[in-house]
Structure 1
Amino acid sequence: MEVNYDTIIRVLGPQGLRAQVREQEGLKEAFNWLVEELQRIAEVATPRKKANRGHGSPWWSVEVQEAQGEARRAERECKAAPSEHNKERLNQGLRALAATINKEKTKTWRTTMQKATHKTDLLWSLERWARCRSFAPPDPPKLPALTGPPGGQDLSTQKEKAEALARRFYPNPEADLSDIEDPDLLEQWVPKFNIEEKVTVGDVRAVLSKISPWKAPGEDHLPIGLLKACGRPLFKVLAVLTEACFRIGWFPEIFKRAKTVVLQKPGKEPSTYRTPGGYRPIALLPTVGKVIEALVAERITSAAEAYGLLPAEQMGNREHRSTEVAIRLVVAQVQEAWRQKATASLLQLDISGAFDTVNHTRLLATLRLQGYPQWVVLWVKAWLSNRVAILHFDGQKTEDIPVIAGVPQGSPLSPILFILYIASLYQALKTAHPLVSIVGFADDTNLLAFGKNPDANTQQLEKAWKTCLQWAGTRGMAFAAQKCELIHFNKGRRQWENPVALAHPGASGYSTVKPVESARFLGVWLDWKLSWRAHHQAVERKLKTQDFALSRIAAKTWGPSLSRAREVYVKCIRSAIAYGASSFHQPTAPRATGPKGPAKVLSKAQNRSLRIVVGAYKSAPIRCLETEAWVPPLDLYLNKRLADFEGRLQKQALQSGAGPEAERITTGHLITEACNKVYRSSDETHEGLTKAQSSLLSQARIGDIGLRDYLFRVKVPEVRTPYCECGRGRETVEHLVAWCPDPPLQRPWDGREIRSHRDLQTVLRGVGARSRRFVRKVLGWLMDSGRLLEYRLARRLELETVDGEG
C-alpha cells in the first residue's frame, strides 16, 4: 500500500484532535471523529483497491488466440462437410490448441515463479497456496444446508444457518455465582498493587511495532499499516484518548463490533460440514480498538508476572515459556519417575469452547480477588459489555448478534485474561491433589499422575477429574470427557491397558477413556515408551505436503532463485522437522559416524528437499548438497537447536552477562556471525542468477551433470560412450569449456582466460567480482550448446521473458 505521508500530516496534524476529554460523551465524540478522520486520510492518501470484476486468464496470448481460431475454423468446416479429412483436421486443431494452452500455462507459471525472487509477498503467498490449498478442492461458494433438529427439516436459508452458527459460536452457559458477594462491583476495594494509568507516545509506538501491519482489519477498514504511517501525530492522540479511557473506565462502543468470517475447518469429513461444528469463526476487530486492548494487556501481563498471579505450570502466552518448554517438562517428569522406579500416566483434558464460555461476572470477580486496581477491573467490565458480532458467509452478513459470554478471540487482551481466569483451576488441583502434576498451555490442560502402578495413577486422575468438574460448574465451562486422551508411560514390553472412568457432571454416569499407544501433545506425538517413533512418522506424513509445496514452486530449471528456495526450505520445512527437537533429539557425539534416533530418519527428508533447492541429481553426494545450499547436516542443526534451548533455560541465571557461561555464549554468537558471513559471501555467486542457472552452476561444481561422462557412469541406456564427440576426452564441463577443440558453439571468451582446472574452479566458485561476471557467460554458453537437453525449454522461456520485458 502506498501512503502519502505529507497528506496524512497535513490532515491530522499534532493539534488536529481535541485531546482534552474528561467525560464519556466527549470521549465518545473524539473517537468517532478520529475514526472518520482516519478513513478520510485513507481515502485521500491511499485510494481503495478496485473491485475485482473478473479478468482474463494470465496465460492467454496471441498464440492461443490463433490456435483457437484455427480450431474453430476446422470445426465449422467439419460441420459443413463432415468428411474424414475435415475430421482429422479438426482433431489436429484441437490437439494443437491443447498443446499451445499447456505451453503458455507452463510459461506463465514459471515466469510467475521467477518474479517471486524479487517479490517476497508473492513468494510466501504462493508457498502458502502450494502447502495448504493446491491439493485441496476449492471451498464451496455457499455453506451447504445444515442438518436440522431430529425429525425436522434441514436449515437451508441464510437466516436459519446464521441462527445455528450463532448458537455454536456464542453460547451463554449457566454458572454457579453464589459465592460472589459483589457481582456488580459497586463496592470499593483496596488493590494489592498499583498499575499506572498514564499512556505515553512511546507506549503506543511500542505496541504498534509488535502488530503485523497488513492483517485484515474490522468494519472500519483501517489496517495497522495506516496507523503506523500516520506516525507521531496519531500516536500522541491515541495516548491521550487511551489514558482518558483508563481514567473513567470506558471502552468505545464502535470498537466492540466484530466482523466475523465463517470458514471451513480443513480436513474434516463431508458430513461434518453439514453441522455448525465444521466451521470456525474468524473475528476481525477494529484496529484502533486493538491498540487500546494491547496497551491494557501489557499492563495486566506485567502485573501478573511481577506479583506471581499466574501458576508456574502455565506455559501459554508468557515470556520465557513455550510449547517446547511444556513438552520438555512432561518428558523430564516421566523419565524422572522411571528413574525412581515409579509409573506415570498423562490425561489430556479438553475444555469445550474455552474462550467462548468465559463468564464475565466470574472473570471480573477473579481480577478483583487477584488484587487488580479498580480502574482495570471497571475498564475490563466496559470492554466486555454490549459486544456484538456480525457473521459473514454466503456473500451476505447477518444482523447484530449479542455476545453474552466469552472473550473475543483475535483480541490481544483475551489470552492473558483467559489464563488469569483459569489460574484458580491449577490452584485447586495442586491443593487437593499434590501428587498430580499439571502442565498447561492456554486452554490445553494436562494432568500427569505418578504412582507405584497404573491403577494408582488412574485413581488419582479420576479424583482430579472430579475437582475439574467442580471448578467448571462455578465457571459455566464444560470438560468434554469423550475428547480426553490417556497415555500410560511404561518402559516394559507390554502397554498397560488400565482405563480411567471420568464422571459426568451431576453424577449422571461415567465415560470410560481407554489408554492409547500415542497421542498428539502440543504439536508432538508422545508414545507410551517415549521412543518418538510415532512423532517422526507423523512428521514424515506432514513433510509429504511440505515437499509437495516446495516442488510446486521450485524445480531444477525453473522457480525462484536458489536463495529464495533455500529460504522456503529453512523457514517452512526444516522448522517443521526440528520442532520438538529439544525433547526428542539425541546430541551427536564428536566422533560419531552419523545421527542417531529420529534425526537419522528425518535426515532423509532434508536430503529430498535439498535436491530440489540445489537442482541436483539423486546421485549427488549429500555433503555436496549441504555445501551448495549452505545448510548444515540435520543432526548438527538439531544439536545447535538443542543447545540454544538449553541456553534459553539458563537465560535468567545469565542476566549479569558475566562469568564463563556468558563468555561461552558470547563466543558462540561470534562463531555464528562468522559462519553467516561465509554464507553471505557464497550466496553472492548465485546473486542475479535464475533458478536454471543456479542449478547448472551447482551441477557443474558437483560434477553430476547431464553430459556423457556422467550419463555413462550412471548407465543411461542411450549413452554408449563417456567421450565427447571430438574424441579427445570425456565429455565434462571442464572439457567443453576449456579443452574441446571442436566445441558445439563458439566460446564467447578468450581461450587464455581458462587454461587450467584451477582457472575453471575459480570461475565456478565465483572468487572475486570478475569471476562472478564471467560465470554468467559460461552458464549461458552451456545452455545454448545443445548438450544439456533439460535446459532447452528453460533457456527459451528465459529469452522469451527478456524479449517480452524489452
Structure 2
Amino acid sequence: MATQTLALTRLAASAWGCSVRRAKELYTKVIRSVLAYGASAWHKVADTKKGPALSLTTVQNSCLRTVTGAYKATPQCYLETEAAVPPLDLYLSARAASFEIPTETTGKLQLLRGACIKAAEIINRERSARRRRQRRPQGATSETPVTLWPSDAQLASAKQWLGGQTVEKALKEKWEQRWFHAVTPTRGRRELAAESPPDCGACHRYDDMLKHEASVLMQACTGRIGLRSFLFTCRVPDVPTPLCNCGEGRETAEHLILYCKDFKESREHLATQLAPNSLRTRRDLAALTTKKDTARLIVKWLLRTGRLPLYKRAMEVGGPPEHVNLFRP
C-alpha cells in the first residue's frame, strides 16, 4: 500500500502534477480498490469505524490531501466532501452489503452453507486422525470441533444498514448524516466548505483548473490556506499576528475577497468579471465557489494578490502546454 500511495505523491502535489480529476481517478480505481479488496470477508457492516477500517481511513485521508492539495489540518469531512469520496468505512460497508444481499436472493447462501459444512467435516476428521496417531493420554482435554458457517449476523447487519434502500441511496444518506453531525454551526461558520453537503459532482468545479489553482480553491473553501489567520493558528514563527495588513480583520480568503480595503479597486474589477452574479456577502462567495467558471476567476484573483507566495513559481510557469501535459483532462 505504501508503494501506491508514494506513486500518487509522485504524480501530484499542491502546486504541480495531474489534475484533481485524474488524481482522484487514480486513487479510486487503483488505491481504494486495493484497500477494499475482500471487504466482504473482513469488514463488519456498521456505521462506526472499527477494525481495519479505522487504520485504512488514515491512508485515504493522506491520499485525498494529495489529490486536493489540502493541508494536513484540513478536517476529514471537508476532504471527503470536496473530493466527492465517501468515508472509507461507509464505502466498505456498502461493498460488504452489496455482497451479502445477493447471496440470499440468488440462493447462493445455501451453497455456501453446504460448502462450509463439508469443509468443517474434513477438518474435524483430519484432526481426529492426528489425535489417534499421537496417542494422546486418556482423559486429556479434547479440542473443540471446528464449525464453519456463513455469518447470519453479517447478513442481518447488512439488511439493517440498507434499511430497505439500494446500496447507493443508503451510502449517500449515511454520508450526509455523518457530514451534518461533523459540521456544526459553530465550527462551519468560517469555512465555505460547510455550506455544501456531500455531492458526487462537487469535484467537477476543479476540472479546468491547473493543480495550484485547484489547491488554492480547496484551501480557501476549507479555511486552511497559507494566509496569516491560519498560519498564526499553526504557530508559524514568522507570523506574529493573524491580522491583515489593512488592519480591518483577520487575513483569510473571505476577508481578502470581500472586505480588504487594500484590494478595493481590483475587487471591483473582479465583480465586473463575475457579473451578473453578485459578490457582496459570504453567501454570495459560497455560491460562486461552487460554480466552475466563477470559482476559477476568484482563484486567479486571489493568486494575483501576492498573499500566497507558495504558488508564485507555479503562476510564473502557468502550466505546461496542453499537448505535453498528459494528465490534464
1:750 aligns to 2:271 (yes or no): yes
Q: Which amino acid aligns with 1:671?
A: K
Cα distance in structure 2, aligned partners of 1:783 and 1:670: 38
Matched-pair contact (CA < 8 Å) for 1:614–1:695: yes
Matched-pair contact (CA < 8 Å) for 1:744–1:785: no
Cα distance in structure 2, aligned partners of 1:668 and 1:630: 19
The correspondence of residues 672-751 of structure 1 with structure 2, limited to 5 A, is 679-743=199-263, 746-747=266-267, 748-750=269-271
Matched-pair contact (CA < 8 Å) for 1:686–1:694: yes
Match of 1:616 among 66, 70, 76: 70
Cα distance in structure 2, aligned partners of 1:722 and 1:779: 21
Residue aligned with 1:616, SS: coil
Match of 1:791 among 305, 311, 315: 311
The alignment yields a C-alpha RMSD, in angstroms, of 2.8
The correspondence of residues 759-770 of structure 1 with structure 2, limited to 5 A, is 759-766=284-291
The correspondence of residues 419-438 of structure 1 with structure 2, limited to 5 A, is none
Q: Which residue of 1 aligns with 2:9?
A: 551
Q: Which amino acid aligns with 2:81?
A: T
The correspondence of residues 441-460 of structure 1 with structure 2, limited to 5 A, is none
Q: Which residue of 1 aligns with 2:18?
A: 560
Match of 2:60 among 598, 606, 616: 606
The correspondence of residues 4-23 of structure 1 with structure 2, limited to 5 A, is none
Q: Report the alpha carbon displacement of residue 559 of structure 1 after superposing the two structures with TM.
A: 1.6
The correspondence of residues 569-608 of structure 1 with structure 2, limited to 5 A, is 569-589=27-47, 594-608=48-62
Report the CA distance shift for 1:610/1:734 in structure 2 as closer, same or farther (over 3 A).
Answer: same
Cα distance in structure 2, aligned partners of 1:786 and 1:619: 23
Q: Report the alpha carbon displacement of residue 651 of structure 1 after superposing the two structures with TM.
A: 4.7
The correspondence of residues 640-659 of structure 1 with structure 2, limited to 5 A, is 640-653=94-107
Superposed CA deviations along residues 105-144 of structure 1, whole A, max 9, x for unmatched, are xxxxxxxxxxxxxxxxxxxxxxxxxxxxxxxxxxxxxxxx
Match of 1:773 among 293, 296, 303: 293
Matched-pair contact (CA < 8 Å) for 2:270–2:301: no
Q: Report the alpha carbon displacement of residue 623 of structure 1 after superposing the two structures with TM.
A: 0.9
The correspondence of residues 251-400 of structure 1 with structure 2, limited to 5 A, is none
Residue aligned with 2:263, SS: coil
Cα distance in structure 2, aligned partners of 1:605 and 1:723: 35
Cα distance in structure 2, aligned partners of 1:560 and 1:571: 15
Q: Report the alpha carbon displacement of residue 562 of structure 1 after superposing the two structures with TM.
A: 1.1
Q: Which runs of 5+ in 1 are unaligned?
A: 1-542, 655-660, 767-771
Cα distance in structure 1, aligned partners of 2:65 and 2:244: 27
Cα distance in structure 2, aligned partners of 1:600 and 1:666: 27
Cα distance in structure 2, aligned partners of 1:680 and 1:796: 33
Cα distance in structure 2, aligned partners of 1:670 and 1:582: 17
Q: Which amino acid aligns with 1:565?
A: A
Report the CA distance shift for 1:800/1:615 in structure 2 as closer, same or farther (over 3 A).
Answer: closer
Q: Which amino acid aligns with 1:595?
A: K
Q: Report the alpha carbon displacement of residue 681 of structure 1 after superposing the two structures with TM.
A: 3.3
Q: Which residue of 2 aligns with 1:633?
A: 87
Report the CA distance shift for 1:789/1:646 in structure 2 as closer, same or farther (over 3 A).
Answer: same
Matched-pair contact (CA < 8 Å) for 1:712–1:720: yes
Q: Using CA pairs below 8 Å that are at least 6 residues apart, which structure has the higher relative contact order?
A: 2
Q: Which residue of 2 aligns with 1:77?
A: none
Cα distance in structure 2, aligned partners of 1:727 and 1:653: 71
Report the CA distance shift for 1:796/1:666 in structure 2 as closer, same or farther (over 3 A).
Answer: farther
TM-score, L = length of structure 2: 0.67
Residue aligned with 2:64, SS: helix
Superposed CA deviations along residues 684-713 of structure 1, whole A, max 9, x for unmatched, are 322312222211111111000000110001
Q: Report the alpha carbon displacement of residue 555 of structure 1 after superposing the two structures with TM.
A: 0.9
Q: Report the alpha carbon displacement of residue 620 of structure 1 after superposing the two structures with TM.
A: 0.5
Report the CA distance shift for 1:679/1:561 in structure 2 as closer, same or farther (over 3 A).
Answer: farther
Cα distance in structure 2, aligned partners of 1:666 and 1:690: 42
Matched-pair contact (CA < 8 Å) for 1:745–1:781: no
Report the CA distance shift for 1:790/1:801 in structure 2 as closer, same or farther (over 3 A).
Answer: farther
Higher CA-based Rg: 1
Match of 1:668 among 163, 166, 170: 166
Which structure's residues are more often helix, by fraction?
Answer: 2
Cα distance in structure 2, aligned partners of 1:577 and 1:705: 30
Residue aligned with 2:266, SS: coil
Cα distance in structure 2, aligned partners of 1:641 and 1:788: 41
Cα distance in structure 2, aligned partners of 1:713 and 1:742: 23
TM-score, L = length of structure 1: 0.28
Q: Report the alpha carbon displacement of residue 781 of structure 1 after superposing the two structures with TM.
A: 1.3
Matched-pair contact (CA < 8 Å) for 2:20–2:211: yes
Cα distance in structure 2, aligned partners of 1:680 and 1:688: 17
Q: Which amino acid aligns with 1:631?
A: V
Cα distance in structure 2, aligned partners of 1:599 and 1:672: 18
Superposed CA deviations along residues 398-430 of structure 1, whole A, max 9, x for unmatched, are xxxxxxxxxxxxxxxxxxxxxxxxxxxxxxxxx
Report the CA distance shift for 1:791/1:672 in structure 2 as closer, same or farther (over 3 A).
Answer: farther
Cα distance in structure 1, aligned partners of 2:208 and 2:51: 40
